[in-house]
Amino acid sequence: MNFEHWKRIVIKVGSALIAPTNTGCSSEYLLSIANFIKQCRSSGIQVVLVSSGSIAAGAHLFSPNKDSKNTDNIIIKKAMAAAGQAEMMATWDTLFDFPTAQVLLTHADLRKRDRYESIRDTIDTLLEHDILPIVNENDAVTTDKLKVGDNDNLSAMVATAAHADTLVICSDIEGLFTKNPHLHQDAKLVSDVYQIDEDIYAMAGGATSSVGTGGMKTKIEAAEKAISHGIDTYIVNGFKKQTFQAMLAGDNPGTHFFSDKNPMHDGVHWMRHTTRALGELIVGDQYKIGHNEASDLLVADDLLSVNGDFSSGDVVLLRKHNGDKLAKVKTNYSSCLLNFVADSTNQDFSEELDKTQDPIISKQYIALMES
Tens digit of each residue's pLDDT, the chain (371 residues) = 677 789 999 999 999 999 988 788 999 999 999 999 999 999 999 999 999 889 889 988 887 655 444 545 788 888 999 999 999 999 999 999 999 999 999 888 888 888 999 999 999 999 999 999 999 999 888 776 667 878 999 999 999 999 999 999 999 999 999 988 888 889 999 999 999 999 999 988 644 444 444 589 999 999 999 999 999 999 999 999 999 999 999 999 999 999 998 988 888 888 888 888 899 999 998 888 754 444 457 888 888 999 999 998 889 999 999 999 999 998 989 999 999 888 765 666 666 666 665 788 877 788 887 54
> How close are the terminal C-alpha atoms of the chain, in Å?
33
pLDDT of residue 206: 47
SS (H, E, C) 10-73: EEEECHHHHCCCCCCCCCCCHHHHHHHHHHHHHCCCEEEEEECCHHHHHHHHCCHHHHCCCCCC
Among the listed residues 263, 9, 267, 17, the one whose alpha carbon sits nearest the alpha carbon of residue 156: 9
Q: Rounded to the nearest 5°, which phi and psi values hold at 89?
A: -65, -40
Q: Rounded to the nearest 5°, which phi and psi values hold at 335?
A: -65, -35
Q: Rounded to the nearest 5°, which phi and psi values hold at 112?
A: -95, 125
pLDDT of residue 8: 97
Calculated CA dihedral for residues 120, 121, 127, 131, nearest 10 degrees: -100
pLDDT of residue 70: 52
Distance, CA of 55 to CA of 75 (rounded, Å) = 11
Among the listed residues 133, 77, 137, the one whose alpha carbon sits nearest the alpha carbon of residue 107: 137
302: helix, strand or coil: helix
pLDDT of residue 353: 63
pLDDT of residue 149: 75
Distance, CA of 41 to CA of 23 (rounded, Å) = 31
Q: Rounded to the nearest 5°, which phi and psi values hold at 8?
A: -145, 125
Distance, CA of 57 to CA of 60 (rounded, Å) = 7
Whole-structure pTM value: 0.84
Distance, CA of 129 to CA of 106 (rounded, Å) = 25
Nearest-10 crossing angle of helices 30-42, 74-95 = 50
Which residue ranges form the domains of the chain, and what is each CATH number? 3-269 (3.40.1160.10), 277-368 (2.30.130.10)
The H or E element containing residue 258 is none
122: helix, strand or coil: helix
pLDDT of residue 35: 97
Written as one letter, the residue type at 181 is P
Helices (H), 228-277: 241-248, 266-269
pLDDT of residue 349: 63
Contact 277, 315 (CB under 8 A): yes
Q: Could you tell me the CA-to-CA distances from 117 to 125, 149, 161, 162, 316 in Å, in that order? A: 12, 21, 7, 9, 20
Q: Could you tell me the CA-to-CA distances from 175 to 3, 142, 224, 283 in Å, in that order? A: 18, 30, 15, 42
Dmax over Cα atoms in the chain, in whole Å?
70
Q: Could you tell me the CA-to-CA distances from 154 to 51, 78, 223, 279 in Å, in that order? A: 10, 18, 11, 22
